[in-house]
């Protein structure tokens, strides 16, 4: 990095804009204010001696905001609370002055030692009279002396690297240990290690975006093709995969800390349009074979502008982004049936392929006001609105008519106040949030579910069935959301030599609601081998007992933490932190188990048997025997050791605990399962005889049952019969993870440029995920019939009701990872940058895909850990950005992974009664490969306007990443049919369909104007 003496008129000192803050009235995103602000610290010397009276001023070269501090007795200084950006550091001591420029990133602590001895280099193009006309850039400082396992995603990478969706989180997979995946519904999920997406949290300007109801981790990331935030509004972000400090809350895997863009002293703006259409993408395999290419469209557009309101003191920034998608969806019947093998009256519905539409509007605005050098006010507002036919609800086994529409909306407000004193800083936030999610069936009609017996049960009566094709009305009807306020405050004290002490709290009031009626339309199931006009079963919902509307709760959250970053000496730094979180959820704590359910439990001899492996009394709530979980103590300890004291070779490590939270969707189930109860009735017929197994729900088929009123009449006399009862453990705990890491960072010169590398071994154990398992037992109290250790013919129902499910803490994951990274950061001086991220993962779980339901075991106490589904052993992501002549920029991103673990059952080891989950890794050594490239040309018009045109090619080589494989290991030995030998499946693990992960080779064109 070059140092500059800038011989110009010193501007009047100003404050800085953008750190974190929280204090005032009430309002609320989801986490304790964690720091996006940066700190610049180091030591000042005069002629090689410590400067005890030095004045250090950091001035943001874009906004003019500044902060000044005095050096300590040993020449040390610390300038905290700086928004990420480029700063001119002016130092004066002993009658001498010097200046340097430095770029700091989100949440970074950068060490910069300053000297006023000698003559500094003069900035090459400085205007000696007007600093605001000087464009100063600097390469970011690589942060080595932190115990966090963290990597930065820069504004240049967000701007230049190719991607399809403009979801800023899509770049997180350039970080080792983090994966972004595009689902079959077009949604992007972010996960780290063996845990699912709900383990993450994203902090924007220090405020968490946690989704309290759904499983996407943050709002706007579950079951949607939309983006949680406009990409134009994100400046940069940091991804911490493990061992974050005590200020981070409500997560158990990765933390993303992003900072938004701000206005500057110059009016500037940009607008863009990008799009791709049917003819700009290669056909899918199914389209290629059928000769029918489904119409598709992806258009995105937006505008951003900002500038000064009061020069150097107040600025504004506004942005809007819109998105219009038509995503092609193809019907692919289950069990490898072809469409022409379906019944004739269903073939037209199966061939009526549709594209799933999606529209989203995203708005973001920000005003910052530096009242003086000590006081900063900042206000931000975000609004998201989207409407779609969910892409995951059509295609595959689902006809277009069977789809689900969804409307989502979100508003978040953040008022922030920051006060800076000589040796302490206070950040306060007052926040508000209002989020809603509401899927609805596209068709109001009975559902038609065509099924076939599972391969190993073809000759059995009442076999387990698998879906071939669905049409008619879908089952999904929900209305869920969260609304509330929060006050959060962070206090940082750096007046104690060698220590930076931070303490903070959050108090939040949030109303959470969950309404769910499933199935919204009755689902009639037909056996393709028996009858296409007489169903063998119907599943429907009707009003039950207790709760009659949405489940609502007024939750209160409180968190507090203390963190000390202690520089013991120039080599050793210790990070010592402790936090505690507490949340009350009245919907769970005050729930009273209905008297009818309690009576049924008391009178159910099967679970009053001495052999029963659980006590149902632990699940009966009286309204005062449940308490909020109060043991969420989270020590977080870390260290770094700088071998030479020059930040070039640093070993680091840490250990810590982090609590996530229980999703309200789980806590609400014991209420809304009783509100709109789900019933299953059976229709007696060949192959599906119900007279002996379920006589109370066994009917003779009559077409009148296609009418919902007739179904309601079936349960009017006894509304509880056959309904599923869900009960939660009275001592439910909060999920958490224990994290351990050890690694080394290096900064070194290679090929004439500065490079950074990191190698880390990470070990994460997650505990106490919720599991709903079957509470029914047999007359002798056992779960399995004699001779069986896996799967089950469901024991007799709870008298007067149906199946009993009990929810308790049980799901666990284990992860050991090796994380390698190598980066040459992009700089304007060099004109290029590259990065390489490799992840090895040994990921295990005791429940496939960490699912919240298990019907194959009574609990998970003795269940073996198996390969975690969806996780690849090896993953490599490489990126490059290169400036070319004629104002052109080339960029590329390559992603390679080994096969991901997929679900499979193994009945081959003993017999069909003693199977087990046995995931497998199908396909080739490199199971996923995708190379994306982009080329952008900028024209300088000679005015303030610059025009740009960009072309991206996604999946350049049209590599086909197959996702349909035969997961059946074969038919095991069946003691009931001893003359039939076990038959291994010769096609196990082989591709058995034409499904591929998108995209096919796709060209995307972008037009933009900047001023």
The H or E element containing residue 934 is strand 928-940
**pLDDT confidence band for 877 (50 / 70 / 90):** very high
- Do 154 and 214 share a structural domain? yes
Same domain, 125 and 10: yes
Quick one: which H or E segment has residue 155? Answer: helix 155-160
Identify the domain boundary among 233, 260, 287. 260
What are the beta bridge partners of residue 322?
301, 361
First-to-last alpha carbon distance for the chain, in angstroms, is 29
Q: How far apart are CA 756 and CA 506, in angstroms?
A: 36
Contact criterion met (CB below 8 Å) for 162 and 893: yes
Task: Please tell me whether residues 10 and 125 are part of one structural domain.
Answer: yes
**Which residues face 386 on adjacent strands?**
360, 408
493 found inside a domain: no
Residue 694 to residue 536: CA distance in whole angstroms: 13
CATH code of the domain containing 252: 2.170.130.10
Whether residue 118 sits in one domain with residue 166: no
Query: In the 8-state DSSP scheme, what is residue 50?
Result: E
Contact assessment for residue 833 and residue 152, using Cβ atoms and an 8 Å cutoff? no
The domain that holds 72 is classified in CATH as: 2.60.40.10
Distance of alpha carbon 57 from alpha carbon 42, whole angstroms: 13
CA 384, CA 927: separation in Å to the nearest integer?
A: 35
- Check whether residue 168 and residue 125 sit in a common domain: no
Instruction: Check: CB of residue 334 under 8 Å from CB of residue 326.
Output: no
Beta bridge partners, 326, equal: 297, 357
Q: pLDDT higher for 414 or 139?
A: 414
- In this structure, the answer to whether residues 129 and 8 fall within a common structural domain is yes
Q: How many domains does the chain have?
A: 2
* Separation of alpha carbons 856 and 783, rounded Å: 10
pTM of the complete model: 0.88
The vertex-280 CA angle with 274 and 282, nearest 5°, equals 135
| pLDDT tens by residue, 550-594 | 889 999 999 999 999 999 999 999 999 999 999 999 999 999 999
Query: Does a structural domain hold residue 669?
Result: no
- Domain extent, residue 107, equals 4-133
32 is a domain residue: yes
pLDDT of residue 220: 85
Q: List the single range of 480-484, 866-870, 982-986 with lowest mean pLDDT.
A: 982-986
Average confidence (pLDDT) over 838-852 = 93
Nearest-angstrom CA–CA distance, 740 and 595: 47
Residue 9 has pLDDT above 80, yes or no: no
| Within a domain: 166 | yes
pLDDT tens digits along 494-519:
888 889 999 999 999 999 998 888 89
Q: Percent of the chain at pLDDT above 90?
A: 56
Is residue 622 a part of any domain in this protein? no
What span, in angstroms and rounded, lies between the C-alpha atoms of 200 and 210? 8
- Phi, psi of 306, rounded to the nearest 5 degrees: -165, 170
Instruction: Indicate the burial class of 971 (C-beta count within 10 angstroms; 0-12, 13-18, 19 or more).
Output: buried
Distances (CA, A) of 466 to 157, 459, 922: 45, 15, 22
Q: Band of the pLDDT at 751, cuts 50, 70, 90? A: confident
Phi then psi dihedrals of residue 180, to 5 deg: -105, 135
Judge whether 307 lies within some domain: no
Q: Are residues 190 and 113 in the same domain?
A: no
What's the pLDDT tens digit per position in 592-612?
999 989 999 999 999 998 889
Residues β-bridged to residue 553: 512
pLDDT (mean) for 705-731: 85
Among 90, 109, 133, residue at a domain's last position = 133
698-699: strand order across its sheet = 465-472, 447-453, 523-527, 537-543, 676-683, 698-699
| C-beta separation of 923 from 900 below 8 A | no
Q: Is residue 40 part of a domain?
A: yes
Residues 50 and 114 in one domain: yes
102 lies in the same domain as 184: no
Residue 370 lies in a domain: no
Same domain membership, residue 201 and residue 127? no
Asked if residues 391 and 329 have their Cβ atoms less than 8 Å apart, the reply is: yes
Same domain, 56 and 159: no
User: pLDDT tens digits, residue range 183-233?
Assistant: 666 677 889 999 999 999 999 999 999 999 988 889 988 878 889 999 999
Q: Are residues 129 and 9 part of one domain?
A: yes
Strands annotated E in 105-206: 109-111, 114-115, 121-122, 149-153, 178-182, 188-192, 201-204
Q: Which of 212, 232, 260 is the last residue before a domain boundary?
A: 260
């Amino acid at each position: 990095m070059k140092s500059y003496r800038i011989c110009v008129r010193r501007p009047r000192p100003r404050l800085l804009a953008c750190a974190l803050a929280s204090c005032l009235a009430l309002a609320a995103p989801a986490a304790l204010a964690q720091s996006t602000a940066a700190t610049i610290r180091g030591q000042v010397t005069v002629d090689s001696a410590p400067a005890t009276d030095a004045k250090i001023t950091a001035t943001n070269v874009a906004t003019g905001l500044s902060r000044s501090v005095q050096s300590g007795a040993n020449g040390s200084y610390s300038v905290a609370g700086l928004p990420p950006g480029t700063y001119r550091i002016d130092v004066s001591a002993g009658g001498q002055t010097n200046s340097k420029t430095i770029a700091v990133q989100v949440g970074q602590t950068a060490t910069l030692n300053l000297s006023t001895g000698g003559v500094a280099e003069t900035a090459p193009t400085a205007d000696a009279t007007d600093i605001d006309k000087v464009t100063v850039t600097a390469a970011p400082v690589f942060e080595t002396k932190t115990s966090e396992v963290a990597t930065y995603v820069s504004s240049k990478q967000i701007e230049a690297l190719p991607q399809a969706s403009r979801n800023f989180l899509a770049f997180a997979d350039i970080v080792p240990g983090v994966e972004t995946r595009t689902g079959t519904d077009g949604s992007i999920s972010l996960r780290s290690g063996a845990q699912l997406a709900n383990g993450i949290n994203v902090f924007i300007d220090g405020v968490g975006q946690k989704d309290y109801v759904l499983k996407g981790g943050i709002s706007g990331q579950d079951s949607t093709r939309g983006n949680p935030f406009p990409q134009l509004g994100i400046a940069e972000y940091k991804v911490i995969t493990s061992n974050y400090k005590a200020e981070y809350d409500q997560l158990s895997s990765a933390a993303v800390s992003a900072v938004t863009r701000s206005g500057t002293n110059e009016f500037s703006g940009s607008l863009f349009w990008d799009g791709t259409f049917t003819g700009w993408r290669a056909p899918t395999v199914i389209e290629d074979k059928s000769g029918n290419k489904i119409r598709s469209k992806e258009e995105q557009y937006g505008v951003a502008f900002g500038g000064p309101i009061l020069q150097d003191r107040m600025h504004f920034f506004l942005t809007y982004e819109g998105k219009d998608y038509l995503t092609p969806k193809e019907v692919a019947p289950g069990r490898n049936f072809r469409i022409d093998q379906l019944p004739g009256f269903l073939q037209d519905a199966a061939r009526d392929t549709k594209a799933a539409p999606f529209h989203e509007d995203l708005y973001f605005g920000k005003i910052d006001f530096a009242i003086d050098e000590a006081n900063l006010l900042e206000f931000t507002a975000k609004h998201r609105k989207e409407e779609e036919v969910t892409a995951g609800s059509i295609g595959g086994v689902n006809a277009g008519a069977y789809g689900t529409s969804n409307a989502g909306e979100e508003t978040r407000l953040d008022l922030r106040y920051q006060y800076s004193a000589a040796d302490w800083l206070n950040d306060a936030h007052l926040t508000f949030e209002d989020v809603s999610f509401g899927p609805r069936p596209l068709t109001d009609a009975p559902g038609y579910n065509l099924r076939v017996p599972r391969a190993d049960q073809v000759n059995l009566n009442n076999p387990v069935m698998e879906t071939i094709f669905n049409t008619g009305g879908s089952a999904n009807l929900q209305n869920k959301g969260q609304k509330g306020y929060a006050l959060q405050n962070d206090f940082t004290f750096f007046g104690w030599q060698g220590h930076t002490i931070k303490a903070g709290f959050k108090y939040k009031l949030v109303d959470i609601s969950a309404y769910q009626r499933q199935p919204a339309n009755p689902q009639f199931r037909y056996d393709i081998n028996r009858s296409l006009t007489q169903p063998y079963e119907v599943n429907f919902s009707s009003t039950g007992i207790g709760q009659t509307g949405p489940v609502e709760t007024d939750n209160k959250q409180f968190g507090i933490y203390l963190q000390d970053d202690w520089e013991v000496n120039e080599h050793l730094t210790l990070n010592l932190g402790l936090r505690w979180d507490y949340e009350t959820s009245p919907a769970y704590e005050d729930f009273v188990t209905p008297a009818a359910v309690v009576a049924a439990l008391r009178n159910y001899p099967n679970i009053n048997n001495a052999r029963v492996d659980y006590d149902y009394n632990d699940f009966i709530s009286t309204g005062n025997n449940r308490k909020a979980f109060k043991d969420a103590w989270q020590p977080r300890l870390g260290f770094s050791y700088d071998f030479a004291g020059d930040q070039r070779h640093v070993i680091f490590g840490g250990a810590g605990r982090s609590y996530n939270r229980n999703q309200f969707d789980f806590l609400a189930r014991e209420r809304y399962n009783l509100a709109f109860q789900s019933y299953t009735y059976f229709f007696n017929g060949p192959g599906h005889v119900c007279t002996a197994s379920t006589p109370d729900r066994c009917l003779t088929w009559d077409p009148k049952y296609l009418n919902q009123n007739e179904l309601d009449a079936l349960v009017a006399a006894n509304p509880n019969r056959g309904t599923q009862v869900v009960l939660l453990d009275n001592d439910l705990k909060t999920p958490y993870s224990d994290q351990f890491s050890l690694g080394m960072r290096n900064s070194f010169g290679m090929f004439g440029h500065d490079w950074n590398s990191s190698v880390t071994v990470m070990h994460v154990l997650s505990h106490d995920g919720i599991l709903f398992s079957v509470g029914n037992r047999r007359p002798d109290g056992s779960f399995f019939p004699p001779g069986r250790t896996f799967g089950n013919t469901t024991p007799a129902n709870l008298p007067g009701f149906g199946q009993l499910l009990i929810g308790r803490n049980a799901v666990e994951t284990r992860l050991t990872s090796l994380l390698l990274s190598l980066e040459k950061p992009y700089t304007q001086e060099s004109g290029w940058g590259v990065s390489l991220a490799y992840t090895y993962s040994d990921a295990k779980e005791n429940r496939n895909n960490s699912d919240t339901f298990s019907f194959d075991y009574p609990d998970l106490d003795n269940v073996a850990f198996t390969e975690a589904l969806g996780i690849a052993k090896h993953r490599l992501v490489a990126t490059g950005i290169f400036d070319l002549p004629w104002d052109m920029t080339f960029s590329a991103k390559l992603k390679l992974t080994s096969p991901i673990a997929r679900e499979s059952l193994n009945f081959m080891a003993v017999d069909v009664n003693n199977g087990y989950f046995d995931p497998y890794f199908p396909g080739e050594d490199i199971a996923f490969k995708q190379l994306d490239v982009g080329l952008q040309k900028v024209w300088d018009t000679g005015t303030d306007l610059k025009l740009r045109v960009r072309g991206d090619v996604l999946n350049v080589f049209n590599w086909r990443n197959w996702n349909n494989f035969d997961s059946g290991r074969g038919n095991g030995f069946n003691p009931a049919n001893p003359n039939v030998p076990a038959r291994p499946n010769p096609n196990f693990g082989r591709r058995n369909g034409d499904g591929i992960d998108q995209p096919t080779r796709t060209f995307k064109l972008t037009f933009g104007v900047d001023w």
